[in-house]
Amino acid sequence: MPFRRSEAGPREWIDRSRTLSFTFEGRPCTAHPGDTITSALLASGVSLLGRSFKYHRPRGAVSLANHDVNALFATDADTNVRGDVTPVTDGMVADPVNVRGSLEKDADRHMDRFGRFLPVGFYYKAFHRPRALFPFWERIIRRRAGLGRVDTAWTPRRRAKRYGYCDVLVIGAGPAGLRAALDAADAGFDVLLADENPRIGGSLDYQWLGDAIADTQRDDLVARVLGHPGVTVQTSTVALGSYTDHWIPLAAPEGIIKVRARGVVLATGVLEQPAVFHNNDLPGVMLASGAQRLLHRFGVLPFERAVVQAANGEGLVAAEQMAAAGVTVAAVVAHGPGVTEADARRLTDAGIPVYRGWTVYAAHGSDAVSGVTIAPVDEAGNCDADSGETIHCDGVLMSVGWAPAGHLLYQSGGTFRYDDTLAMPVPADWPSTVVPAGRVNGAFTLGQQLADAGDAVRRLTAALRGEPVPPVVPQRDTVPHGSQWPIVPHPKDRNFVDFDEDLQLKDLEQAAREGFDNIELLKRFSTVGMGPSQGKHANLNAIRILARLRDQGIDATGTTTARPMYYPVRLEDLAGRRMRPERETPMQDWHRERGATFMEAGEWRRPAYYGADAASAIADEVAMVRNGVGLIDVSTLGKLEVFGPDAATLLDGAYTMRKGNIRLGLTRYALMVDDAGIIVDDGVAGRLADDHFYLSATSGHAEATYQTLTRKALEWGLDVHVVNRTGQLGALNVVGPMSRRVLEPLVDMDLSEASLPRLGICDTRVCGHWARLVRVGFVGELGYEIHATPAALTTIWHALLDAGAAHGIRPFGVEAQRVLRLEKGHIIVGQDTDGLTNPFEAAMPWAVHLKKPFFIGRPALAHLKGQEQRRLVRFVLPPDHAGPLPRECHLVIRNGDIAGRVTSIARSPTRGQPIGLAMVDRALADSDEPLTIRADDDVLVRGEMIAETFYDPDGVRQDADNPEATP
Amino acid sequence: MPLRLLKQGLLGGEREPRFFPEQGELRDRYDVVIIGGGGHGLACAHYLAKEHGITNVAVLEQGYLGGGNTGRNTTIIRSNYLTPEGVRFYDASLQLFKGLSEELDINLFYSTRGHYTLAHSDEALRTMRWRAEVNRHHGVDSRVVGPEAVAADVPGIDLECGGNHPVMGALYHAPGAVARHDAVAWGYGRAAASRGVEIHQQTRVTGIRTAGGRVTGVNTDRGAVDCDAVVSMVAGSTPRITAMVDLPTPIEIYPLQACVTEPVKPFLDTIVVSGSLHVYVSQSSRGELVMGAAVDPYSLHSTRSSFEFVEGLADRLIDLLPFTARLRVNRQWAGMSDLTPDFAPIMGTTPLDGFYLDAGWGTWGFKATPISGQTMAATVAAGRNHELIEPFRFDRFADFQLVGEKGAASVGH
Amino acid sequence: MKVIDCPVIGTRPLSEFVYGGEVRRPPMDAAELSAVADHAFNRSGAPTLLREWWFHRPTSRWFVLERDTLSDRIERVVPPEEVAYAIPTL
């Protein structure tokens, strides 16, 4: 059993005194608190952790750093769980993803043998001929797609997101991050230090462990950071991306923290890169840093007998650490200038055989490593396989180089260039307030990292204080830290460049050969870097491969874009708490209690009708308004107050009709169009004083109308103030022939035509409260709109219900109102008009006063007058129309083609026949032809256009003194 | 095992032909220069060569093939538009798409999945009916369905949408499809190149030369070339090109963002769009949820991402599909949408002789790729607008003859 | 999230603002149809330094800001008098 617990280490994360139980593939397993799924399984001797995406090859642990995307697990509440970083919890039930049957006996494991028939981009080249067969193939392909399974029974766990503010955000709590945090805090800045790991210390806790100087430094730095009042430490926290203006969301255990920092230090470190050789994906082949994490964090010894492939000093340290922990290091295979002869001698002296100038040519084994073949390699990276030797081992450590974790720097506007010595891209340029520090910036030794962090903070401090930013003091290492070409071809391939996507060297070569030979096309055709780890281990080698194929440099080959998220984030975490603001009128509770059915009206919910049965409720409500008195809550209307010497000028400029000549105490219809003459809003404008108007606007457009008016006031240099009172005042409409009789006892004024004429407006008192009364005629009966404060309006509402009880008063909803206004022929903006309707098309030329020298849309309407190609018409269906009614948006058909659409339709109780409005082609509108509507099931319904208003064309029913209206 | 894969597997990849020939030097003169090597530009090149015998054509691309909006959209193809001219145009595109894998001999994964546009208000439902009626009139299979039909096809959907925006019905568009967007560009590119069209990547047009009111050539960062016709097919870069010839347009650029989750086993076979919730979602053949929303709130020439986009999208998506809360967003990106005031494209001839425009694609350009290429090729060949694009002519704004697509105010993907 | 320096209450997040589009002046008198259409529809679409209207919801104030539409940098707060014009009245 290769994997086993080591002796307890000084910095390990696990608590060996306690044991947790969990099950994996139905088998009971144990773990210590602090173990991840992967470390616990490895410690129990399970090394086969997953199957690959495409070929279902056996895969194991590689990085232990949130990049092991071939070791994903499913639990009862989650899927695609990253085992390398997800802690085991007691009682956890974990299973592998993307297998049929068990991991070991995965029914799809034979896919590996068909690899040659599934070359890169294979799906572009087959299955499409004949066309009819594609759905068959697609079903097969789709069945094999994806990784984990979802459960439609999962429910969102929504947690609040937090906002965080700091002077300096330091990302990464390794040596550079710790130093930067301390220096920034010492400079007086409020510092937030975030690290993805549960403990701070970074590589000091595994790569540098046992180095006496580093250990001392580490203890000092950690203690000072934890004790510094200016530093807040946020562990287990990932910076997801860098967005505009230093907006950096952090995924913390408690949810997302959106941080706005004045300055950012990116001490994000480096990502170890794999070597590309035959079977480099077998369980047992690990990144050296991955093995170190496993050993020092989780106390698991990954191997008994290992071969270490090293192109840098870090690999040698790893070999020494493994040896010290009890692993037999069978050989260190070193190539490139990163391992010197002196280095080699140090290991040889310690009894570790070193093969300088050699590389790993292939690993062997079926489900785990059983040995490797090593072979000499020249400076250009060409491998002499014939001279190879085979070494028995159960593990391979790869230490061949690094890539910067530069994602956030890139997103902040930074650029990178390839450093030939370090064999990795390093930052070339960055904003003065987002600075890299440490290994991400090419500073590798501990001294360099600490000095680089100090320098970064000095520059950042100057930038934040608005002082001249001192030049960079370079701290980049001059010693190689990686191989220029850690890639070995093999006749049997299976030398993987991208573990997520199962891409081998030959796949990238083939893609380039087929013409996808720039980095972006290569990525898109091969999908390299597009898997769950987003190329963190694949992109750099892919660029190397393409660069070599194209015989050009790394920088000339370019790079792909590093997009957020740094690690995948759950939708529920991104969503946060659920907030759905809705607006309520003062009478909302009353409507609910009365059994209203509500309908959406922008941010509002309005009663559609009251009662269980829609049809009968609406009919009754309509009848009561026509014959008695009804009450409707119109609080959702936009309500704007306009004050100032230029109030009339503003309204004359903003609306199509004259407003400046409205007499005191009267109202006028108000129609607003845009610059293209398209209707955007309507309402009523009333004049309360020479310099004071009161405006209504449609419910959904109130805010926009307010914005238009305030902006035009500025634009036109007017002395005027607009106040949006939509939420401050409620409104109701008491309407019907009995309305005057019901209202009169409650109001402190005479309601005769002489006192409050039709279209009149005045401030008065109703039920003792201040109220504004408006005589409106939207539904075609005598009626009074009452605007008042919420408390007053509620009182008035109830008083009207009491006062009207004798007359059978009842509330009515939007549906009845629609029928009533349709009988009166009034349009609803947005229903009878669409996104391109002008007033002429809406048959409202009377509402356009072109005699005014200017109003919004006038220049357009002046040209459009008489040019309309369609027009809104009134129509009726025969009184004996049987069967279902055509519906709104059913088409008007003329000569077999579309000639318009029904915009409104209803059975008119008053006329005893269906009536409606339709927007039809002008030729039809101008004709006396019948109107043919294509209703449901293609039934053609014949109607007739009529010129007159459906109901009370002379408006006598709106006369307050009409004996019929006020019997 | 398809024969094609067997052959490549047994014979090795060395015999596989290149998709695109090695790029050579620019010639001094072309009959037609197409600016923009996205789907539209490459399709136009293909149809110019195939259907009009015009092969002395250069496609000039400032970046790489299909790297603009072709590679950034959410791959939805549909024809359930509101206006007759829209329905006819996009349906013609959809018909071309159906046969395109065979025609171009590349599997575009054109996959008919059905497309639901959800209505959460009676106003939205009215608009759905309008679209359905116009679609049916033109033989396009769209119909208004009830919430139960949506629930049957969308497992796990919460028809109450958390309680605030219950699904009242939907417009179901049976032909709604998805396809591999990149492959469309590659397929057209390969087909055009095989007929002699030159494709030049990393070649930026820096100016357009005119004389006597007509186009005479273009300047590029690789030198000048002469030509008789220039076709601008650059979506989000359109205003930069039209500025070169002082041609004012109504086009404004707004970023449009999208994101994908990690791949999971397929559970969603249809495409779901909700205008009220501003989300659209489908599941790719890799198993990723591909998601998008409305354009950004202000104009910007950038493909930067914003966090508020994924926050808002996630918030609304899990109202609709609560169980997707556990899926993880893997990557987000943005494209630049070239929006017009009437939500319809601007296509065809312009006041400048020899300068043709294919722009104003807003959020719906991908689905128009084949028909845009075909009609623009015909337009360039004939020197006058193809009848299908006449309603989208450049000068419709000057005479207030806008296309009525805006009547359907909802997310238009 | 982008921040905008509100001239009244300081630095605020973009989500508090409503974009009002570029500052344009309409044709006043009996203009040609082409001039009317140009105003109603055409926009300065190419990357440029643009004067734009922004509405700050919490303070209910409109601002004119000069913004580079390529870099997204706001270069200047423009006093409204600079963009104001008189409209003809009866």
- Say which of B240, B248, B308 has its CB closest to residue C42: B248
Mean predicted confidence (pLDDT) in A831-846: 95
Q: Which of residues 75-134 of B touch C (CB under 8 A)?
A: none
pLDDT at A753 over 60: yes
Angle in degrees, CA A636, A727, A639, rounded to 5: 65
- Summarize pLDDT for A130-160 with one digit per residue, the tens: 888 999 999 988 888 899 999 999 999 999 9
Which fold, B26-72+182-249+342-409?
FAD/NAD(P)-binding domain (3.50.50)
pLDDT at A603 over 90: no
Chain centroid, CA A604 distance in Å: 25
> SS in 3 state form for chain B?
CCHHHHHHHHHCHHHCCCCCCCCCCCCCEEEEEEECCCHHHHHHHHHHHHHHCCCCEEEECCCCCCCCHHHCCCCEECCCCCCHHHHHHHHHHHHHHHCHHHHHCCCCCCEECCEEEEECCHHHHHHHHHHHHHHHHCCCCEEEECHHHHHHHCCCCCCCHHHCCCCCEEEEECCCEECCHHHHHHHHHHHHHHCCCEEECCCCEEEEEEECCEEEEEEEECEEEEEEEEEECCHHHHHHHHHHCCCCECCEEEEEEEEEECCECCCCCCEEEECCCCEEEEECCCCCEEEECCCCCCCCCCCCCCHHHHHHHHHHHHHHCHHHHHCEEEEEEEEEEEECCCCCCEEEECCCECEEEEECCCCCCHHHHHHHHHHHHHHHHHCCCCHHHHHHCHHHCCCCCCCHHHHCCCCCC
A231: which 2 tokens?
Answer: 């530093």
pLDDT at C7 over 80: no
Mean predicted confidence (pLDDT) in A345-364: 96
- Say which of A126, A149, A151 has its CB closest to residue B4: A126
CATH 3.90.1150.10 corresponds to the domain B112-175+252-339: no
| pLDDT confidence of residue A380 | 84
Lowest mean pLDDT among A118-132, A583-597, B135-149, B296-310: A118-132
A96 contacts: CB under 8 Å, gap ≥ 6: A25, A49, A50, A51, A72, A73, A74, A103
A704 touches chain C (CB under 8 A): no
Residues in B closer than 8 angstroms to A116, CB to CB, are 9-10
A622 contacts: CB under 8 Å, gap ≥ 6: A812, A816, A819, A820, A909
Mean predicted confidence (pLDDT) in C70-90: 93
Residues in A closer than 8 angstroms to B14, CB to CB, are 513
Determine whether the interchain pair A715/C90 forms a contact, defined as Cβ–Cβ distance below 8 Å.
Answer: no
Instruction: Give B405's pLDDT tier (boundaries 50, 70, 90).
Output: confident
Q: Which of residues 247-286 of A touch C (CB under 8 A)?
A: 247, 258, 260
| pLDDT confidence of residue B407 | 66
| pLDDT confidence of residue B412 | 38
Instruction: Give A381's pLDDT tier (boundaries 50, 70, 90).
Output: confident
Name the β-bridge partners of B214. B211, B353
- Say which of A652, A707, A860 has its CB closest to residue C89: A652
pLDDT at A705 over 50: yes
Task: Dump strand ranges (E) for A690-837.
Answer: 692-697, 721-724, 730-735, 761-766, 769-775, 783-788, 810-811
Q: Which residues of B53-62 are buried (b: 16+ CB within 10 A; e: fewer)?
A: ebbbbbbbbb
| pLDDT confidence of residue A964 | 66
Q: Enter the ipTM.
A: 0.98
Domain coordinates of chain C in residue numbers? 3-21+41-80
From B65, which residue of chain A is nearest by alpha-carbon distance? A521
| pLDDT confidence of residue B411 | 35
Integer Cα distance of A242 and B331 in angstroms? 13
DSSP string covering A557-607: H-----PSPSS-EEHHHHH-S-----B--TTHHHHHHTTEEEEEETTEEEE
Average pLDDT, chain A: 95
Q: Cα distance from C88 to chain B (closest Cα, Å)?
A: 25
The percentage of chain A sitting over the pLDDT mark of 90, rounded to a whole number, equals 92
| pLDDT confidence of residue A558 | 87
- Say which of B20, B133, B183 has its CB closest to residue A889: B133
pLDDT at B409 over 60: no
CATH 3.30.2270.10 corresponds to the domain C3-21+41-80: yes
| pLDDT confidence of residue A241 | 97
Determine whether the interchain pair C43/B399 forms a contact, defined as Cβ–Cβ distance below 8 Å.
Answer: no
Q: Cα distance from A34 to chain C (closest Cα, Å)?
A: 36
Q: Chain C interface, mutation test: which of B242, B245, B247, B298, most C Cβ atoms within 10 Å?
A: B298
Determine whether the interchain pair A534/B331 forms a contact, defined as Cβ–Cβ distance below 8 Å.
Answer: yes
Q: Which residues of C32-53 are buried (b: 16+ CB within 10 A; e: fewer)?
A: eeeebbbbbbbbbbbbeebbbb
| pLDDT confidence of residue A966 | 57
pLDDT at A259 over 90: yes
Determine whether the interchain pair C83/A715 forms a contact, defined as Cβ–Cβ distance below 8 Å.
Answer: yes
Mean predicted confidence (pLDDT) in A336-355: 94
| pLDDT confidence of residue C90 | 78
Q: Cα distance from A179 to chain C (closest Cα, Å)?
A: 29
What's the Rg (C-alpha) of chain B?
21
- Summarize pLDDT for A364-374 with one digit per residue, the tens: 999 999 999 99
From C62, which residue of chain A is nearest by alpha-carbon distance? A711
| pLDDT confidence of residue A487 | 97
- Summarize pLDDT for A932-966 with one digit per residue, the tens: 999 999 999 999 999 999 999 988 999 888 776 55
Domain coordinates of chain B in residue numbers? 26-72+182-249+342-409, 112-175+252-339
- Say which of A130, A134, A571 has its CB closest to residue B329: A571
From B243, which residue of chain C is nearest by alpha-carbon distance? C46
